[in-house]
Structure 1
Amino acid sequence: MTAVTGAKVLERFPAGSPRGSWPAEECAARHRAEGEPATVVMDLESDAFLVVVPSPEDD
């Protein structure tokens, strides 16, 4: 798992997927259901949707 702009990346999904951001949104929803404050962001450099949570330093 990688840190990106103060956030911990949990999962990566290619932006070119036929379903677009849906897989990332579904993954983030599962993490939120488990109590993690997961959100989806777009990484333009890698052309991917990232599921991220704030890093512990941000708390």
Structure 2
Amino acid sequence: MSAKVLERFPAGAPRGSWPAEEFAAARRAEGEAATVVMDLQSDAFLVVVEGPEDDSRA
């Protein structure tokens, strides 16, 4: 399995603001199994959904 990134949010949001969590919650309300993960290299929160492995890569 792999993951598809729906949206990225910088980690430096104002205190008390959770834009990635709010975006993911809205996607979950629409029926998508969205989760938030932290990308440490880019210092960003990613909203992702699981998807099938992409077999087109060689």
Provide TM-score, normalisation by structure 2: 0.80
Note if 1:23 corresponds to 2:16.
no
Runs of 4+ in 1 over 6 A off after TM superposition: none
RMSD of equivalent CA atoms: 1.9
Query: Which is helix-richer, 1 or 2?
Result: 1
Q: Which sections of structure 1, spanning at least 5 residues, go unmatched?
A: none
How many residues are matched? 53
Q: Percent identity?
A: 81
User: Which one has the largest radius of gyration?
Assistant: 2
Q: Which sections of structure 2, spanning at least 5 residues, go unmatched?
A: 54-58
Per-residue deviation, 1:21: 6.5
Matched AA of 1:29: A
RCO higher in structure (CA 8 A, sep ≥6): 2
